Amino acid sequence: MKRYNSEQSIYDSLKKKYVPLWRLDTSTATVTYFDAVACTTESKIYHTNYVKYHHSFSASHYHDRLRRLVNDGKIGEYLDDLKLKVGKAIERQVELSKQADRCY
């Protein structure tokens, strides 16, 4: 698994070093954002298996796209959108199963 750091970095006065503005850790499915004003980091962990699978697949096949999403700061939006679309697709499949199977 890989870690992707944004090219843009900001000085963290608490750690006394430059840190990336955005970070994606594909092994833990975590997106981290450094807030320069408050000198804090905000992390969001994606727990669903399909997001974790998508991370590992994208890291091995589409690493340039992941790097671009992290650099642009759009990785969180992308993963939230992925989560929403997969959730809707699962709901549609469940409804189709309910209609096709009388025992369901």
Give the C-alpha separation, 88 to 96, whole Å.
Answer: 12
Q: Which of 23, 19, 18, 25 is nearest to 6 (CA)?
A: 23
Residue scoring higher pLDDT (85 or 29): 85
**pTM assigned to the model:** 0.81
Could you report the per-residue pLDDT of 61-90, keeping only the tens digit for each?
998 999 999 999 999 999 999 999 999 999
Give the list of residues 6+ apart from residue 101 with CB closer than 8 angstroms, or none: none
- Total structural domains in the chain? 1
Give the C-alpha separation, 33 to 21, whole Å.
Answer: 6
Q: What is the pLDDT of residue 88?
A: 95
The answer to whether residue 33 scores a pLDDT higher than 90 is yes
Its domain, for residue 82, covers 3-100
pLDDT average, residue stretch 18-30: 90
HSE (side-chain half, CA atoms, 13 Å) at 15: 12
Give the C-alpha separation, 73 to 93, whole Å.
Answer: 32
Give the C-alpha separation, 32 to 17, whole Å.
Answer: 17
